[in-house]
Every structure is written in C-alpha cells, then in structure tokens.
Amino acid sequence: MELPSYTKQQLALRNGQDKPQIWVAYKGFIYDVTESRLWKNGKHYEHWAGQDLTEELADAPHTDAVFEKFEKVGLLKV
C-alpha cells in the first residue's frame, strides 16, 4: 500500500490541538502517536507533535526503534 504524502503545514495541524490526530514525522515517515499515553495533548517531554522530530531524536534517551510500535500514516513532503 502506498502511503499518502503530507506537507509540513498539513503535519502541523495534527498536533493534538487543531485536529484530534497526533502525528510526528521521523526520517521522512509520518507516524500516528494518538494512542500513546506519552503523547497526551500532543506533547512528549519538550517535544511537540505535528512536526519532524528527526534532528531532535539525537538527544532522546531512546533509539528510533520506538517508532516501530506506531502506524506509518504518510510520507513527509520535502
């Protein structure tokens, strides 16, 4: 199945505030983290949903394997 593409502006709306979905992007993929208790209200520690977290993850205490449990819902247009 081919994933739809979203712009950064479209991703920004999925921040848990403007729309009910809570999405984040990482390495070109967009993940749905809506069901994660760690992303309640669109915030996870100092990170906000609706944006590309690729560069920010370098400082995270976990690896990118954390995204494996979330559904890929799209591709981030560059």
Domains of the chain: which residue ranges?
5-76
| pLDDT tens for each residue of 11-20 | 999 999 989 9
Quote the CA–CA distance of 77 and 34 in Å, as a whole number.
21
Contacts of 77 (CB under 8 A, 6+ apart): 5, 6, 7, 8
Distance CA 78, CA 75 (A): 9
* CATH H-level superfamily of 5-76: Cytochrome b5-like heme/steroid binding domain (3.10.120.10)
- Residue 58 CB coordination number (10 Å): 7
Instruction: Give the global pTM.
Output: 0.92
Mind listing the pLDDT tens digit for each residue in 64-77? 899 999 999 999 99
Are 77 and 38 a contacting pair, CB within 8 Å?
Answer: no
